[in-house]
């Protein structure tokens, strides 16, 4: 009981130390000795709690991820509308990473490109989170809030892609200082796109809802979704 608790505390202490160390160096450049020193323990003690350096690494996200996912679920419960939910998701991912830069480093720079990590328990939890995003998008499609031909997988990849890209840039280049500011514009872009509709909407009325056709004089604009029905698209 007490011993169980104490053991858990030790584990947590080691994981914190490992997170700090692995955040700063590549996995193979960080040493168990450094982790041990950071944790105020001896090398051998690390091995009492984790059988392998790799196991130690893979154990870092286990708890944190679980907790993060649960918190996210909590927030989402009270949000109405798929768009708002997506906004919430993006916002909290960014918030989460911003508040835990070491954790972010480990996940984004060390684990993300690790093949073995994909077979890990921690990764399974992360995948569940990803599946959650998917559900939100599908919910938006079903409710008519999102286009019916939306590819939910792609939308998710878009969301995760930008977040990852922004977080990695932030970790490596240190800019911008505040990544949270991106939550709104990212959501906007995902939902609205970047096409200028104010200008085209007026035209629409006159030209039977085929908006961009007539701007061609200036430049050949990108031929949008409406006109490329043939484009390969994954079905949900």
Partner DNA sequence: CATGAATGAGAGTTCATTCAT
Partner DNA sequence: GATGAATGAACTCTCATTCAT
User: Per CB under 7 A, which of residues 18..47 are in contact with DNA?
Assistant: 28-33, 41-45, 47
Long-range contacts of 100-105 (CB under 8 A, 24+ apart): 100/64, 101/23, 101/171, 102/19, 102/20, 102/23, 103/19, 103/23, 103/60, 103/61, 103/64, 104/167, 104/171, 105/22, 105/23, 105/24, 105/171
**Which of DNA, a copy of itself, none does 124 bind, CB closer than 5 to 8 A by kind?**
none
Of the candidate residues 16, 38, 54, 101, the single one contacting DNA (CB under 7 A) = 54
Residues 2-21 that bind DNA (CB under 7 A): 3, 6-7, 10
**Which of a copy of itself, DNA, none does 193 bind, CB closer than 5 to 8 A by kind?**
a copy of itself
As given in the structure block, the two tokens for residue 36 are: 């041990």
Nearest residue (CB) to DNA, 32 versus 100: 32
φ and ψ at 20, to 5 degrees? Answer: -60, -45
Cis bond upstream, residue 176 (ω within 30)? yes
Minimum distance between the CB of residue 225 and a copy of itself, rounded to whole angstroms? 4
Which residues make up the interface to DNA (CB under 7 A)? 3, 6-7, 10, 28-33, 41-45, 47-48, 51-54
């Amino acid at each position: 009981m007490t011993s169980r608790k104490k053991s858990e505390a030790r584990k947590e202490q080691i994981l914190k130390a490992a997170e700090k160390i692995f955040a700063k160096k590549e996995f193979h450049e960080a040493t168990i000795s450094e982790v041990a020193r950071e944790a105020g323990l001896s090398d051998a003690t690390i091995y009492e709690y984790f059988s392998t350096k790799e196991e130690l690494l893979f154990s870092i996200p286990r708890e944190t991820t679980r907790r993060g996912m649960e918190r996210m679920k909590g927030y989402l419960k009270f949000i109405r509308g798929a768009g708002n939910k997506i906004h919430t998701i993006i916002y909290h991912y960014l918030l989460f990473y911003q508040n835990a830069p070491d954790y972010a480093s480990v996940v984004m720079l060390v684990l993300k490109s690790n093949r073995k990590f994909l077979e890990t328990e921690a990764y399974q939890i992360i995948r569940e989170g990803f599946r959650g995003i998917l559900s939100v998008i599908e919910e938006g499609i079903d409710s008519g809030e999102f286009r019916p031909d939306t590819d939910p997988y792609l939308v998710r990849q878009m969301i995760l892609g930008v977040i990852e890209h922004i977080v990695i840039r932030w970790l490596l280049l240190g800019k911008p200082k505040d990544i949270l500011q991106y939550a709104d514009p990212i959501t906007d872009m995902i939902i609205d796109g970047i096409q200028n509709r104010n200008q085209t909407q007026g035209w629409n009325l006159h030209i039977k809802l085929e908006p961009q056709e007539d701007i061609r004089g200036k430049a050949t604009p990108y031929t949008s979704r409406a006109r490329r029905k043939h484009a390969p698209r994954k079905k949900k």
